[in-house]
Amino acid sequence: DAGITQSPRHKVTETGTPVTLRCHQTENHRYMYWYRQDPGHGLRLIHYSYGVKDTDKGEVSDGYSVSRSKTEDFLLTLESATSSQTSVYFCAISSGTGDNIQYFGAGTRLSVL
Amino acid sequence: LAKTTQPISMDSYEGQEVNITCSHNNIATNDYITWYQQFPSQGPRFIIQGYKTKVTNEVASLFIPADRKSSTLSLPRVSLSDTAVYYCLVGGGNQGGKLIFGQGTELSVKP
């Protein structure tokens, strides 16, 4: 988890409330990713960013938005949380060049009641 | 995007060699093959990466045939601590971009 911090690590919220998860990196990597992980589904890509203000959708982007105003921060927002968004969320970073290996954060466990 | 297919689960015993094969029939010319390991309640961790032929590090070996349509992760002499989910990922190179994980293989090592 070196160089990647996810906050908060745990959150419980109610249906219909907005939620923002933060991913912060100190590696100056170009690419940042948000995944969700649910039992039986493995890791699914929500959104990713290939630079400041440059983002693209992943496999399961409905209900999520992202923003990247600085190289080091990638925010994931649930505008109106639903119970189906209860999950573990992982942030990852990669350099985008050469081997492009991804490094993952410790995860955020989100419960929407 | 190259889709990957792996066995859902595998069982092994301590001290055995474990081979996990991943199929990726539509791999692109500039795609790398990368394997990750994930323990419960943790993020995935990089194990090994290759482009063609064989790659070996202190943890594992990766075998890639000439057509690159599959790859095999080899874990020598597994221990109980190797019990984890292993993911094969195809993509990256100099393109970055979407990196889609498959279902992964849940390896259970028994004493």
Question: Which pLDDT tens digit goes with each residue over B9-68?
Answer: 999 999 999 999 999 998 888 888 999 999 988 999 999 999 998 999 999 999 999 999
Q: b vs e for B93-102, b when ≥16 Cβ sit within 10 Å of the residue's Cβ?
A: bebbbebbbb
Mutate to test the interface with B, among A33, A41, A100, A104 (most CBs of B within 10 A): A100
Using CA atoms, how far apart are residues A95 and A93, in angstroms rounded to an integer? Answer: 7
User: Across the interface, do A99 and B92 touch by the CB < 8 Å criterion?
Assistant: yes
Give Cβ neighbours of residue A98 (< 8 Å, ≥ 6 apart): B94
Chain B positions in Cβ-Cβ contact with residue A2 (cut-off 8 Å)? none
**List of chain A residues with pLDDT < 70:** 1-2, 98-99
Using CA atoms, how far apart are residues B45 and A4, in angstroms rounded to an integer? Answer: 13
Q: What is the DSSP letter of A84?
A: G
Q: Give the distance from residue B111's alpha carbon to the nearest chain A alpha carbon, in angstroms.
A: 26
Question: What pLDDT, on a 0 to 100 scale, did the predictor assign at position B99?
Answer: 77
User: Across the interface, do A42 and B103 touch by the CB < 8 Å criterion?
Assistant: yes
Using CA atoms, how far apart are residues B46 and A103, in angstroms rounded to an integer? Answer: 7
Q: What is the pLDDT of residues B59-92, one digit of tens each?
A: 999 999 999 999 999 999 999 999 999 999 988 6
Token digits for B35?
Answer: 């394997």
**Cα nearest neighbour of A91 on chain B:** B43
